Structures are given as structure tokens and as C-alpha cells.
Chain A
């Protein structure tokens, strides 16, 4: 079964540095998402992306964050000038194009981001 893959599995970064989290969504999916989860608790929506632009974003997704689909396969989340509170698990997800509103999202295994 096709999977969403995320790299790296664990990223350690000094506070104030930039970090890029990478995701390869399922190949025939056209809707992409980033979520974060702090300490194995609530899953928080960050941003959704379709047709090379942001579709929706939460209030968490401020100017510090950006997303990009630099080629036909990768989907990246960039965090500029990281803060201690950015430490979390970051999950990428994708869903099918057709009738996306009730299609389940397929999640990657996440990147654990640790800010020192």
C-alpha cells in the first residue's frame, strides 16, 4: 500500500535556526497537509495545500512558517527562526483529489523536531 514518507525522522536544531521538514505524499494525491502534535497529545492543523497554493491555514501558521512543493513529489514545511515552543512531532498528510471533503487523510510517520 502506498505511504506518505517523511524525512528526517528526528531533527535537532538550535533555537533561531531555520529548519526544513520534507514529505513525499502518495503519488496520485493532490491535497497536502501539515499537522503538529505536542507530547503525543492533540493533533493541531497547520496548513493545507492544493494546486500549488495554500488552501487553508490555522492561526498557528504565522509568518514563521512556509510551505512549498518544489518539484512533482516533495512537499516541504520551512520554519524560520525556530523557537523552543516549535518542538513537536510534525506530520505530513495527503488525500485524494476526488471528493476530498470526505476522503480520509493518509499520514506519514512524522518528524520529531527538537529545538535546543
Chain B
């Protein structure tokens, strides 16, 4: 079975400060991990993924995520937040040996204050 948790419903950060949106996962085998962003009245937009290789993955719009196998985490990060980063962020996981349908987290609302 595969599952993913986003422990924070909302994250608030000041513009220019670093941001972190947390994600932890549970799978039986190797994880495939994804981050998506959703702006108001829009569909989910792919940001980045981890399949294998370097634990630090870089994606769109200056976002990056760090895969930590021992902590079963895949936190999304950005060194300097922008007001335009304010959106809903979804983490998703797929178990390499399981269903090819990813399981999405409940989403974390990121609010960047000017």
C-alpha cells in the first residue's frame, strides 16, 4: 500500500524568506515522488519528481525537493519565496512495485506575505 501525508494545512512565509512544505510517504518498495502546484481555478501543474539518483531534485520556478529515505520524506523547498508562489501544493507518491496510479496528499496552502 502507498500513502502520503502533508502534515501542514497551511504554511505562511514572508516574501524573500526560504520556504519548506513538508511531505512524508509510506510505500512497500521504492518510491516515485512528485510535487504539483495548483493555482486558483486551475488544474494541477507538475513541479518536479524523484525517481532515482541524486537526492536533491530541482524543478520549475526555482523549487527543489530533497528525498530522505531514512525519514521517508520529500520536502519541497525554495530559497527565496515570492508572493506569486502562493498556491496549493500537492505531494504524490507511487510505489514502484504497486499501482501505477499515484496517491495524492491533502494539499498544503502556501501563503507568501509581501
Residues on A lying within 8 angstroms of B by beta carbon are 4, 6, 33, 40-45, 48, 55-56, 91, 93, 100-102, 104-110
A-B contact count (CB 8 A): 57
- Across the interface, which residues of B come within 8 angstroms of A41, CB to CB? 106-107
Q: Which of B49, B88, B105, B106 contacts A104 (CB 8 A)?
A: B49
**Using a CB–CB distance below 8 Å, which chain B residues touch chain A?**
32, 34, 36, 41-46, 49, 51, 88, 90, 94, 96, 99-107
Q: How far is the CA of A100 from the CA of B32 in the complex (A)?
A: 12
Of A6, A42, A100, A104, which contacts B104 at CB under 8 A? A42
Closest A residue to B100 by CB, please name it.
A101
Residue of A nearest to B94 (CB): A101
Cα of A105 to Cα of B43 in the assembled complex, Å = 11
Judging by beta carbons under 8 Å apart, are A43 and B90 in contact? yes
Find out whether the CB atom of A102 lies under 8 angstroms from the CB atom of B32.
Answer: yes
CB–CB B51/A42 < 8 A: no
Contacts of B101 in A (CB 8 A): 33, 45, 48, 56
CB distance B41 to A104 under 8 Å?
no
Residue of A whose beta carbon sits closest to that of B34: A104
Contacts of B49 in A (CB 8 A): 102, 104
Determine the distance from Cα of A45 to Cα of B43 in the docked complex, in whole angstroms.
14
Q: Tell me the smallest distance from the CB of B37 to a CB of chain A, in Å.
A: 11
Q: Which of B32, B88, B90, B107 contacts A101 (CB 8 A)?
A: B32
Closest B residue to A106 by beta carbon equals B46
